[in-house]
Structure 1
Amino acid sequence: MLVWDLLSAELIGKLFAFQMDHHGLKLVDPHEPVRAVTVAGEVEPPDEVERLMKQPRSRD
């Protein structure tokens, strides 16, 4: 038995919301275009992100 088995759905939701808030995370609408932020803080346009995601990974 896991700890999750002992918690109610409402309590799990509250714990999840607390963790999201604590770590500064946000839920994303899956229907919005994908955006990426570079290390320099620049936002890449969605079409550029899609192009980069389709490229094969380089093996370093």
Structure 2
Amino acid sequence: MSDQTPPSAPNAPQNCPREYQDDYIGQQSPKLGAPLIIALMIAGIIGAAYAVMYFG
């Protein structure tokens, strides 16, 4: 039992970088998400304009 406790300690430091990586990915996704949302909005406006031109 006491032999298994030391391996458990190294596991904790390994989990920390994992959380940091998730945090890094979380920080990166908004940077990628904002242009994507803007592009979708522009596409929607263009689509609406085409629809108005087509039906009008």
Could you tell me the TM-score, scaled by structure 2's length?
0.30
Could you tell me the TM-score, scaled by structure 1's length?
0.28
Select the structure of larger CA radius of gyration: 2
Structure with higher strand content: 1
Larger RCO: 1 or 2 (CA < 8 Å, sep 6+): 1
